Amino acid sequence: MLAAEIRRIVGRRGSYWSAILVGLATVVTVIIVRLTQSGDAGGTELLDAADPMSVPATLMAVLVGALAGSYDTSQGTMRYLVMTGVPRWRLYATRVLGTAIATLTCCAPAVVLTIVGAYAFRHSSFTDPTLSADLGAAWAYVANPLVFGLVSVGVGSLLHSNGAAIGVSLGFSLGGAILTGLIGNYLSETFADYLLPAAADIAAQLDRHQHIALASAFAAVAAWLIAFVGAGLWRVLRDEY
């Protein structure tokens, strides 16, 4: 079942392959800009840019996740999947896990290119990457796409409509970041750090110097994921197909 789900996600070439190309194009653009500006495009400084470089990948992961969550119902195939006798929770769990794996594979080429670029374009031994820096950059790049991709699966499963799922999911990822910034500026920076966009960013950067502890940021991300993915599961279990 899992392999079939991954093949279906990959088969939606408009979203899946676009996600890969957008990620690669972002890394190439950053390397070219750094070469033209300073002549030093590699080293640990390129690895440090992994988190901001993942923003386009996050938006593409939202599209992949939203379609994964809503596609079966909007196309009318969910009723046939239910008729196979497979429990609904298992169908949903397969969809969530398949989206997670597909998101990671979407991000993998850009991660590899970033790490290769960090070694190939370094001009000073002082900026030589280390294994821990490589692993940190890989995590920083995939964390936000993975989180918001899974959130979008929950939203898509909850709303059923492809268009609505994509719109609402993009609203959460873009509008949520703006709202978090406003809350941090005008109300409470500590409270803002518990909201999903800030907490996911802290977890992605493994940042121990924010207003909340790193463990608290991971706990906040887990709580938000449980809420969104759980809402999608609730809808799948209750619907009549």
Query: Do residues 225 and 231 make contact, with C-beta atoms less than 8 angstroms apart?
Result: no
How many CB atoms are located within 10 Å of the residue 150 CB? 24
Which tokens go with 160? 């059923």
Of residues 46 and 225, the one with the higher pLDDT is 225
pLDDT value of position 40: 61
Residues 152/142, Cβ–Cβ less than 8 Å: no
Q: Residues, the chain, total?
A: 241
Pick 240 or 187 by higher pLDDT.
Answer: 187
Handedness of CA 143, 111, 55, 157 (dihedral sign): negative
**CA 6/CA 10 separation, integer angstroms:** 6
Residues of the chain above pLDDT 70, percent: 93
Residue 182 in this model has a pLDDT that exceeds 70: yes
- The model's confidence at residue 233, banded by pLDDT at 50, 70 and 90, is very high
Q: Which percentage of the chain shows pLDDT scores above 90?
A: 37
Q: Which residue has the tokens 């196979």?
A: 84
pLDDT digits (tens, 9 = 90+) for 79-106: 777 777 788 889 899 999 999 999 999 9
Choice between 209 and 232, residue whose per-residue pLDDT is larger = 232
- What pLDDT is recorded for position 162? 81
Residue 13 has pLDDT above 70, yes or no: no
Residue 125, both tokens: 């031994």
- What does the chain look like in DSSP terms, one character per residue? -HHHHHHHHHH-HHHHHHHHHHHHHHHHHHHHHHHHHHS---HHHHHHTHHHHTHHHHHHHHHHHHHHHHHHHHHT-HHHHHHTT--HHHHHHHHHHHHHHHHHHHHHHHHHHHHHHHHHT---GGG---HHHHHHHHHHHHHHHHHHHHHHHHHHHHH--HHHHHHHHHIIIIIHHHHHHHHHHHT-HHHHHTSHHHHHHHHHHT--SSSS-HHHHHHHHHHHHHHHHHHHHHHHHH---
pLDDT band at residue 202 under the 50/70/90 scheme? very high
Residue in this structure with the two tokens 């923003």, named with its chain if needed: 55
Domain boundaries, the chain: 2-238
**The pair of three-digit structure tokens given for residue 153, joined into one six-digit string:** 């699966």
pLDDT for the residue 126: 56
- Average pLDDT (136-153) is 94
- Taken in order 158, 57, 11, 115, is the CA torsion positive or negative? negative
Q: Which amino acid is at 205?
A: Q
Q: What is residue 132's predicted lDDT score, i.e. its pLDDT?
A: 86
Asked whether the predicted pLDDT for residue 208 surpasses 80, the reply is no
**Backbone phi, then psi, for 123, in 5-degree steps?**
-115, 0
Q: What pLDDT is attached to residue 52?
A: 86
What pLDDT score does 97 carry? Answer: 94
Q: Give the list of residues 6+ apart from residue 187 with CB closer than 8 angstroms, or none.
A: none
